[in-house]
Amino acid sequence: MKDMKPSDFADFLTFEGVDESLSVEAYIDKVLAEKFGPTFGIGWQLDSIRRGFTRVITFNQLSRVGITEADLAETICGSTRGYDDDFDINDVFRVAADTEFTSCPPLVNGFWRTVNSFEPQLKRKFIKFVTGVDTLPLGGTEFLRIEMPFTAISAPDHDKCLQMLPQAHTCDNTLELPHYWKSLCWREQHDEDKRSAALEEELALLLRKKLQDAVEYSSGYGLDGTSEVTGVLDDKSLYADDQLSKEESYDSLGLPALSEGHDLPFESSQPSPQSFKHEEAEQQEETEDIPAIPAAVVSPRPEESYDDYDWEEEEQSVS
């Protein structure tokens, strides 16, 4: 608005129906007062928020510790760091992990090497998988918990552990991680307390695949995927049949593909008068062919009582 020509700004004031003698700065002050002033717009709401906030911590206290308006906004709303900017997860969050995790160097090294090697977009998805939001908090203000609640004892348990995906509880920023290192050592009959370069490399590959699968496929339901391929289904002739998986077609859902232009037969749910008369005549013929059955005579039954049965009452001992 400050870059507008004086004639254009005068026309704007006329269109708004305000005093045409106002300068640009005066008009901006007028609009701000109307929107955020104490007696207009949402000003009373902002004033209530301000008074409630200062009851907890005063502006003088914020000034003494050197917190600026930008710092306060970042603390409340999250980091303003760009979505494509790289970061280390363990530098942003305060990590609290189970002793079973921290006491296993191959798993600790493999896990952090894996997640910190993710590209920034995948790191954001990992953060959203664990916390529910992809906005980064102010460094060191939020916990990220790593728990290992799954116990593998038998051979089937270890096989199942190697197939499991990590799980998350966004309510308390918790990642539940299977003990892949222990199960790999069990499979290879290797002492889990001893290092093995080959097994650690396999562990890193396994961690990357399991974490990436959990992060990428943790949202939505199976039916949601059909909307992603509607552009493909509009013209299937451009693609070979083997290029469309069963999950990426309406055929797997038993639904008609309306985009293919098939004419669906119209079936009315209302019977025609001719069919109704025909059914009525058939029912009358069937009724005439059935011989009459005499009504059964029901003899009165004597009144029953609990004495006629051998009832056993369960005795309850009182301790």
Is the pLDDT score of 222 beyond 50? no
- What are phi and psi for residue 35, nearest 5 degrees? -85, -40
Task: Give the model's confidence band at 240: pLDDT under 50 very low, under 70 low, under 90 confident, else very high.
Answer: very low
CATH superfamily of 89-216: Hect, E3 ligase catalytic domain (3.30.2410.10)
Domain ranges of the chain: 6-77, 89-216
Residue for token digits 């003494």?
A: 64
Which pTM value belongs to this model?
A: 0.52
The pLDDT, as a whole number, for residue 183 is 95
18-48: per-residue pLDDT in tens?
A: 888 888 888 888 888 888 777 777 888 888 8
CA-closest candidate to residue 260, choices 235, 237, 241, 226: 235
- Mean pLDDT over 243-252 rounds to 41
Q: How many CB atoms lie within 10 A of CB 176?
A: 18
Range of lowest pLDDT (160-164, 193-197, 200-204, 271-275): 271-275
- Mean pLDDT over 224-251 rounds to 42
Range of lowest pLDDT (100-114, 215-229, 253-267): 253-267
277: helix, strand or coil: helix
d(CA 156, CA 160): 6
Is the pLDDT score of 9 beyond 80? yes
The pLDDT, as a whole number, for residue 272 is 54
Task: Give the model's confidence band at 282: pLDDT under 50 very low, under 70 low, under 90 confident, else very high.
Answer: low
Q: Which of the following is catalytic: 104, 161, 171, 185?
A: 171
Task: Give the model's confidence band at 290: pLDDT under 50 very low, under 70 low, under 90 confident, else very high.
Answer: low
Strands (E) located in 139-268: 143-147, 167-169, 174-176
Residue 161 a catalytic site member: no
Give the CA distances from residue 89 to residues 119, 144, 154, 164, 174, in Å, rounded to whole numbers and listed in that order: 12, 9, 34, 23, 14
111-142: per-residue pLDDT in tens?
A: 999 999 999 999 999 999 999 998 888 788 89
The pLDDT, as a whole number, for residue 4 is 83
